[in-house]
Amino acid sequence: MDTQINRLPASTGLYVDHNESITFSFEGKNYTGLAGDTIASALAANNVWLLSRSFKYHRPRGVMSMAGLEADTLVQLDGEPNVAADRRKITPNLQVSGQNYNGSLEKDKNANMGAFSKFMPVGFYYKAFFRPKGIWQKFWEPVVRKRAGLGKIDFNSPHSYFDKCYKFCDVAVIGSGPAGLSAALIAAKAGTEVILIEQESLLGGSLNYSRFDAEGKVASATRNELLEAVVAQPNIEVLTNAVCNAWFADNWLPIIQGNRMYKLRAKEMVLASGKMEQPAIFHNNDLPGILLGSAAQRLIRLYAVRPGQRAVILTANDDGYATALDLLENGVEIAAIADLRPSPIATPIYEQINNNGVSIFAGHTVYAAAARSDKNHIQSVELREIIGQGQCKNESKHFDCDLLCVSIGFTPTYQLALQSGGKISYDDETARFSISQLPKSFHLAGAVNGFNKLSSLLDSGNQTGKAVCDNLGLDTKGITSQQTMSSTSNTYGNHPWPIFPHPKGKEFVDLDEDLQYADIVNACKDGYSEIELVKRYSTVGMGPSQGRHSALATARLVANETQRSVAEVGVTTARPPFRAEKLGVIAGRSFEPERLTAIHHRHKELGAQMITAGVWWRPGYYGQPKNRDQCIRDENLVIRNNVGLIDVSTLGGLEVRGPDAAEFLNRMYTFAYAKQKIGMSRYLLMTNPAGTIIDDGVACRFSDEHFYVTATTGGVDNVYRTMLWWNTQWRLDVDITNVTAAYAGINIAGPNSREVLHKVCNDIDLSPEGFPYLAVREGTVAHIPARLLRVGFVGELGYEIHVPASQGEALWDALLEVGKEHNIQPVGIEAQRLLRLEKGHIIVSQDTDAMTTPQEVRMTWAIAKKKPFFVGGRSLQLIDNHPSDRKLVGFIIEASQNESPKESNIILDGNNIVGHITSVAYSPSLNKIIGLAFAKADTEPGMQISIKLSSGMVIQAQVVEMPFYDPENKRQEM
Amino acid sequence: MSQTSPSHFLIRSPHYRTLLAEGANFIEHRDVVLVDNYGNSAEDEALQAQQLGLVDLTPFARSGYKGKQAIHWAKTQGLNIGASNNQAYLQSNGALVARLSDTEVLILNNIHSEQNQCILLEDEYAKNKPAQCYSVPRNNSSAWFMITGKFSTEMFAKICGIDLRLKSFPNGTIAQTSIARINGIIIRNDMNNTPAFYLIFDSASTDYMWSCLKDAFVEFQGAPVGDSALSKL
């Protein structure tokens, strides 16, 4: 096990606990880190810098920003690919490996891919893969697919728990650096509820790792003071390790924290997201050991890791000198500082470095970096004097080093601001960005708004906090703001052209995509002059880092090549998400509503196999799955020959009440209801305005002004919604109430049903004369108030008993008890479907589709043509003049067939498809296979139809009159 | 009162098996059977309720009326109903009248009152059949839960998009909204100093809602509590 040779003393390292060691493995080798370490920092402490191989050329890559901004730190964990090594904390026994290599990470067999870069210029795929014809499918696609993608998905990895949560606040502050903290404090002191969102594990932002003064004291002092104030402020809620991943209208913010997405709605939004340090572009600028200056500071201050032994600094601002001071104080030798500026400003930090005797080369750049013999780490740099934009003298100075820190400028972390509609501008003279045209409730604070001095950052936060309060109508007079401390250095500095092409190339503009200087230049030469087109042609900015380190350089190159300013060229659109987000986070915890009838648990106790019907669970049949067909046949015969119970609670129930109730039904349904007798039911068929069947049921009239209307299980919600929609226009004096859940329903059916029912129903005359077919009654069953409907869906004597849902189970128990002597049995939905098929009854949406009219299913008998109006009536009149070319017919096949037809098998007329089977089953009562199918409109009983089976075989079926069973309907009317 | 089993009664809570599985001890209380406790003392369950508690009030009476004259009729029955919709109005007998719209009210009986406001109204309604006023069978169409405690708003935030923070959603406020993807009514009705929310929703979804709430409760160590705890709040 390696020792942590780069670990700094316990006095450093805000994030790590020097008292707790953690062992993990990388590439199969065990390492020790500290609690709080990221994978990258722990490896760096062990002097391991090579993390992965690049996407195209398999170049060695390591950490650059220590802020999770680049693709080069993506590593593979057990069951999870593409994990940012500079953000994921180590845990005991964590197993980590690199990605995108062939062989070993250190000796990648594909490491020579870069030698072929001349043959893979930008856009080569557009020019190469389509000729000769067919070569894409035969050759290129397999090659590309094999090499595409990073990491490996483990399809056996266990599911994790993800969820979402709503949040609300007055003010959301994104970023907890000096500006964010001071803005949050001002707003909270004024009485607002503030949520402070920080992507790191500790508040403080740049105060945690940056150096704002020569002495190196002001940052920690300011941080401590601000954090104490935040802790003492009850109006501030802090979310750490949380990323605001997008901005949506009216400050709707998805905040991702671990496996949870908060959906935060904020009245006011403060973006204090800071800035992103930018790399310089020179030969081999991608070697491991080349860090942004802020990354070196993060390693030191956050993780107690010395980033190297001997460093060279490339800078164009005070931050590079501050980095140099940090390195010196932590035992790193500074070999040289190359300052792109011809005349560095003599700030206190600069002076302190200068006084230390460090060699400073003004007006110089790192022209090239060279790798060690194993090619996996920087070994030296070549400095040259700058003589023009991107041009250098030929004379070189060479410095050995194992660390190069680059501090040549920044871009604001502008993504959320631009998503809110903000416009970004670039000043070509100062090389700085600015953002404008933000929504009124969207505010910028701190470095994202161009500020860099600590005093400016604090002032910016204070002012923003007050602006937020002004918007909310709150008085901030008398609120004391954070004292702005003296910070005597840090002049904001962006060098306008930190780009130095090299004859041998490998000066990378976009490390994600292995795009070099020449690639962007050539894209422009190919005619792509607009930044968005250059992006799509070259793929610059399309990798995991989404252009965070390449957008500015690309804009500069495109501007240069097209003789425009960077301001004119602009940057590419910043779309959500800000960071890569897991699909699990987007999905969250899945809510899948399900409804249970009052008798649900009794079904399960009786061994029912439950099936879904929309959101309801219903008993399919009672028995073992291996006996499914036999169970259904037995249950069918129970109803035909004896008595059974079917739970019909899921049937839709609607109360239609009021003086206009009958008129309302007359308009909603095809049949006529105005003269329907009280105490009787009548079939309902509903069509939409196009005349298409959308539901059916029965209307039970209990008084002049009261109908109890049933609807299909899956259709009732739509029926209810449709009724409300229509009556909003008609304004009839009627009330519609959906009472589906309020009633449990049991259909007691079979020739012995009357006898069983009679035992528990004494206040209703159950005789055929007293309670005839299609009549409805109110009374009690087993002491439970009930509505009874004599309907004939299954074609036998039967009663649907509707009772309050809370008493449904008690009714079921009572009926089973009194039916024992008749051997009453529960009957499932599968048998019910078969029973109704034997009677030729359709099921809307199974035997109909989105175009089916009453004419096609032989239900014109259910249309009252003398009515002045019903929904769909006019369409049906028109359809009468243009008859359909199909209709639903019943067919039979002898049961001895080797292969039975299935629903959706097609009906052929010669080679033409003329329809399909909608329902088919073996009928034990008839000992035949029976079914319904759409066939040609001129198909009549006695004719044959051709069915193409699933096997492809075509068989003949005989078309017959319906119903198949008890054609005279005597059994249901007995 | 005596300890008993729900299956001995004609009227049964739709998810009494779930409550039994939670360790519920039932008692007969007037004409209903309800959960007295979950094996803990009333004091302990009251402490739980102050943190995060889930109470099944489904056995208690509730009723509803809708129609153009529904609110007028309810007022003529002596109910105090204000002019604002989505606001619940406390009655002198402890019943809560939720004005859901200009044409609909929901009446929630005082769970510890001797007087059954709902029965009184139902009797009067059946006797007079007021015009343009229609009863809604809330006792059977809707389940009734109560979520109590200081973590209740945070818990709700996991399953409901409404801002239920105590300062944003004062006592008596009503939200007719979606909870865990089903329709429901949330009414804030604090139990003395303990924040409390009634949740009225589809009775056929009782088991589903219970499981969603229990899942959301885990983070806050929430637990079901019995009726006996409520008198200790």
Of B87, B108, B138, the residue at which a domain comes to its end is B138
Closest approach of chain B CAs to the CA of A160, in angstroms?
14
Establish if B18 belongs to a structural domain: no
Q: Is the dihedral of CA A864, A868, A872, A876 positive or negative?
A: positive
In a domain, B23, yes or no: no
Q: Are residues B54 and B168 in the same domain?
A: yes
Q: Are residues A270 and A310 in the same domain?
A: no
The residues near A130 (Cβ < 8 Å, ≥ 6 apart) are A136
Q: Are A746 and A811 in the same domain? A: yes
Interatomic CA distance for residues B94 and A781, integer angstroms = 35
Asked if the structure places residue A488 within a domain, the reply is no
Angle value at C-alpha B89, between B87 and B95, nearest 5 degrees: 130
pLDDT at A491 over 80: no
Identify whether residues B215 and B104 lie together within a single domain. Answer: no
The partner residue sitting opposite B181, judged by closest CB among A165, A591, A807, is: A591
**What CATH number is attached to the domain comprising B191?**
3.30.1360.120
If asked whether residues B101 and B199 sit together in one domain, one would say no
Contact A271, A450 (CB under 8 A): no
Q: Among B7, B8, B9, B10, which would you mutate to test the A interface (most chain A Cβ atoms within 10 Å of its Cβ)?
A: B10
Task: Locate the chain B residue with the closest alpha carbon to A165.
Answer: B158
Residues of A with CB under 8 A from a CB of B: 163-168, 193, 263, 265, 589, 591-598, 601, 616, 655, 657-658, 733, 735, 737, 739-743, 783-784, 804-807, 809-810
* A76: alpha, beta or left? (left if phi > 0; alpha if psi -120 to 50): beta
d(CA A284, CA A505): 8
Q: Is residue A478 part of a domain?
A: no
As a whole number of angstroms, the distance between CA B111 and CA A734 comes to 33
Are A167 and B157 inside 8 Å of each other by CB?
Answer: yes
- N-term to C-term CA, chain B: 21
Domain shared by A704 and A809, yes or no: yes
pLDDT band for position A490 (cuts 50, 70, 90):
very low
Shared-domain flag, residues A113 and A202: no
- Across the interface, do B140 and A784 touch by the CB < 8 Å criterion? no
Write the CATH number for A365: 3.50.50.60
Query: Who among B11, B136, B168 is closest to A806 (CB)?
Result: B11
Q: Are residues A197 and A342 in the same domain?
A: no
Q: Among candidates A697, A670, A693, A668, which has minimal Cα distance to A681?
A: A697
Same domain, B118 and B164: no
| A·B CB contacts under 8 A | 105
* Residue where a domain stops, chosen among B138, B155, B178: B138
Q: Is residue A972 part of a domain?
A: yes
Among A156-160, A480-484, A658-662, B160-164, the minimum mean pLDDT is found in A480-484
Domain end: A556, A584, A612, which one?
A584
pTM: 0.91
Chain B residues whose beta carbon lies within 8 Å of the beta carbon of residue A741: 140-142, 202-205
**Is residue A240 assigned to a domain?**
yes
Looking at the fold, whether B53 and B77 belong to one and the same domain comes out as no
- Residue A887, classified by CB atoms within 10 Å of its CB into exposed (0-12), middle (13-18) or buried (19+), is buried
Q: Which of A163, A193, A595 sits opposite B205 (nearest CB)?
A: A595
* B3-4/B25-29 β-pairing: antiparallel
Rounded to 5 degrees, φ, ψ at A834 are -70, -40
A626 within domain boundaries: no
Check pLDDT > 80 for residue A256: yes
Into how many domains does chain B fold?
2
Work out the minimum CA distance from A905 to partner chain B, whole angstroms: 36
CA distance A648 to chain B (A): 13
pLDDT for res B1: 45
Residues A21, A102, single domain; the answer is yes
The answer to whether residue B158 is domain-embedded is: yes
Does one domain contain both A781 and A895?
A: no
Minimal Cα distance from B215: which residue of A? Answer: A589
Amino acid of residue A684: L
List of chain A residues whose C-beta atoms are within 8 Å of the C-beta of residue B14:
596, 598, 805-806
Which one-letter DSSP state was computed for residue A195?
A: E
- pLDDT band at residue A869 using 50, 70 and 90 as cut-offs: very high
Chain A interface mutation, best of B104, B141, B186, highest count of A Cβ atoms under 10 Å: B141
In this complex, the residue of A594, A783, A806 whose CB is nearest that of residue B208 is A594
Tell me the nearest-neighbour CA distance from A473 into chain B, angstroms. 17
CATH code (residue B105): 3.30.70
| Whether the predicted interface score ipTM is above 0.95 | yes
Residue of B nearest to A741 (CA): B141
Say yes or no for a CB contact (<8 Å) between A589 and B207: no
In a domain, B165, yes or no: yes
Contact list in B for residue A739 (CB cut-off 8 A) is 136-137, 141
Residues B80 and B132 in one domain: yes
Please state, as a whole number, how many other Cβ atoms lie within 10 Å of the Cβ of residue A414.
Answer: 23
Q: Are residues A145 and A178 in the same domain?
A: no
Encode pLDDT of A292-317 as tens digits: 999 999 999 999 999 999 999 999 99
Verify that B197 and B129 share a domain, yes or no.
Answer: no
Range of the domain at A245: 163-276+412-471
Instruction: Among A168, A601, A733, select the one facing B163 at the smallest CB separation.
Output: A168
Least confident window among A131-140, A326-335, A521-530, A844-853: A131-140
In this structure, is residue B119 part of a structural domain? Answer: yes
Same-domain pairing of B133 and B205: no
B133 Cα to chain A: minimum distance (Å): 9
**How many domains, in total, are found in chain A?**
6
Mark whether A147 and A36 lie in a shared domain: yes
The answer to whether residue A931 scores a pLDDT higher than 90 is yes
| Contact by Cβ (8 Å): A863, A877 | no
Residue A253 lies in a domain: yes
Please say whether the beta carbons of A836 and A792 come within 8 A.
Answer: no
**Domain co-membership, A548 together with A670:** no
Same domain, A139 and A90: yes
Instruction: Answer whether residue A614 is part of any domain.
Output: no
A739 contacts B165? CB cut-off 8 A: no
What is the model's pLDDT at position A197? 98
Together in a domain, B172 and B120 = no
Give the one of A193, A263, A805 whose C-beta lies nearest to B140's C-beta: A805
Q: Interior CA angle at B216 toward B210 and B219, to 5°? A: 140
Give the residue from A426, A447, A471 where a domain finishes. Answer: A471
Q: Torsion-angle region of residue A831: left (phi > 0), alpha (psi -120 to 50) or beta?
A: alpha
The closest of A36, A43, A147 to A101, measured between CA atoms, is: A147
Q: Is the domain of B56 the same as that of B167?
A: yes
pLDDT score of A161 more than 60: yes
On whether both B125 and B180 belong to a single domain, the answer is no
Which chain B residues have a beta carbon less than 8 Å from that of A595? 202, 204-205, 208
Are residues A151 and A199 located together in one domain of the fold?
A: no
Torsions phi, psi for A832 (to 5 deg) = -60, -40
Please choose, from the candidates A935, A927, A926, the residue with its C-alpha nearest in 3D space to the C-alpha of residue A963.
Answer: A926
Q: Domain end: B138, B154, B189, which one?
A: B138
Q: Domain of residue B215: give its range.
A: 42-60+140-227
Question: How far is the alpha carbon of A333 from chain B, nearest alpha carbon, in Å?
Answer: 50
Q: Is residue B35 domain-resident?
A: no
Residue A158 has pLDDT above 90, yes or no: no
Q: Using CA atoms, how far apart are residues A196 and A755, in angstroms rounded to an integer?
A: 72
B131/B182 same-domain check: no
Residues of A in contact with B102 (CB under 8 A): none
Average pLDDT over residues A246-264: 97
The whole-chain average pLDDT of chain A stands at 94
Spell out the alpha helix ranges (H) of A740-807.
Answer: 753-758
Higher pLDDT, A792 or A636: A636
